């Protein structure tokens, strides 16, 4: 059971994909399932509280996969981690109701939906029926709107906004209300402003600087700045050299109210989070 406001919680990313933007795809390993279990164990040893397991890449330019293929990748990993009795919350990164239901049935705890329950009409019903906590992410990205930066990789082009932050808040509040209307308990909702998804560099920075306004909506807040392209563009660095930029984003995000940080580099970001928590007076 997580106690919001006590300290920052760390979510470690486990990509069961062949094409993650961050270069940490498990399906490229000789024994993907064993590697996933070892990575899960290491993340917990390093201080992670939550493991976020995803099998469909959301990187710019990626292609959707079927629910069947997604389950073929996810189910063995979830079963293996559960059999090892690894002490962590297991979150599944999916927007498909069939995938969510099957994973929850075998022991997953949370659903992390990058489309905020908007892509699959049955997803909200599955979450409500199972009473699983759910992460609702803000996402106006379009698969057809991709831009390339030499040496920095691809990113989603920003959507059009008349007043970005005001519309972001309205959209997030609407996602939460739609979930509640579907029967999901308000205490099971976590909001994610969707850093890197259909937003400019300035808009991504604005989210982190003004996270307290998202917190004011009344829900726990997760941010996922880890290795994202906005860091690469600010620092002019490729994905493998973005740890310091991620650390700065994590620290400032925590100062402004982030409850959960979703990251690739768990050991380093746990240390950043613990030090930042101490500086702002959260319980150690």
Under 8 Å between Cβ of 76 and 36: no
Helices (H), the chain: 32-46, 67-83, 97-105, 123-130, 164-181, 201-209, 211-215, 229-235, 243-255, 266-280
Under 8 Å between Cβ of 247 and 255: no
Reading the block at residue 138, the tokens are 């803000």
Q: What angle do CA 258, 104, 95 make, to 5 degrees?
A: 60
Element (H, E) at 262: strand 260-263
Which is the catalytic residue, given 199, 227, 228, 242? 228
The bridge status of strand 89-93 relative to strand 50-54 is parallel
Catalytic residue at 73? Answer: no
d(CA 121, CA 55): 20
Catalytic residue at 142? Answer: no
270, 276, 236, 275: which is closest to 255 by C-alpha? Answer: 276
Which is the catalytic residue, given 7, 59, 215, 262? 262
Question: Catalytic positions, please?
Answer: 228, 262
């Amino acid at each position: 059971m997580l106690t919001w406001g006590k300290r920052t919680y760390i979510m470690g990313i486990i990509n069961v994909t062949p094409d993650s933007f961050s270069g940490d795809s498990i399906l490229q390993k000789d024994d993907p399932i064993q590697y996933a279990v070892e990575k899960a164990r290491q993340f917990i040893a390093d201080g992670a509280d939550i493991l976020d397991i995803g099998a469909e890449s959301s990187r710019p330019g990626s292609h959707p996969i079927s629910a069947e293929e997604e389950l073929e990748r996810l189910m063995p990993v979830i079963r293996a981690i559960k059999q090892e009795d690894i002490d962590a919350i297991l979150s599944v990164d999916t927007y498909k109701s069939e995938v969510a239901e099957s994973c929850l049935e075998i022991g997953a705890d949370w659903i992390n939906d990058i489309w905020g329950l908007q892509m699959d009409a049955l997803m909200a019903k599955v979450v409500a029926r199972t009473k699983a906590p759910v992460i609702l992410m803000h996402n106006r990205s379009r698969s057809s709107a991709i831009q390339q930066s030499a040496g920095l990789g691809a990113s989603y082009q920003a959507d059009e906004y008349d007043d970005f932050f005001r519309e972001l808040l309205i959209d997030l509040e609407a996602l939460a209300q739609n979930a509640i209307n579907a029967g999901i308990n308000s205490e099971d909702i976590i909001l994610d402003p969707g850093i890197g998804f259909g937003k400019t560099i300035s808009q991504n920075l604005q989210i982190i600087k003004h996270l307290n306004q998202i917190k004011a909506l009344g829900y726990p807040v997760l941010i996922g700045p880890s290795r994202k392209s906005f860091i690469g563009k600010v620092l002019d660095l490729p994905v493998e050299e973005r740890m310091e930029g991620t650390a700065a984003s994590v620290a400032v995000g925590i100062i402004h109210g982030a409850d959960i940080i979703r990251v690739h580099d768990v050991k380093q970001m746990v240390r950043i989070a613990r030090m930042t928590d101490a500086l702002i007076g959260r319980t150690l």
